[in-house]
Structure 1
Amino acid sequence: MAEPSQRRLQRAIDALSAVEDPLERLTRVRLARQRMEELELEQIRSLREAGTPWRTIGAQYGLTKQGAQQRFKSALKDDA
Structure 2
Amino acid sequence: MVGLLAGRGFNPNAYLPNFRNRKVGVKARSLILNALGEKPLNTGGLKSETGLSEGSLRYHLKLLERYKLVRRIKSGRKASYQLT
Shared fold, TM over 0.5? no
Structure number with higher strand proportion: 2
TM-score band by shorter chain is 0.3 to 0.5
Q: With structure 1 as the length reference, what TM-score do the two structures score?
A: 0.38
Q: With structure 2 as the length reference, what TM-score do the two structures score?
A: 0.36
> Which of the pair has more CA radius of gyration?
1
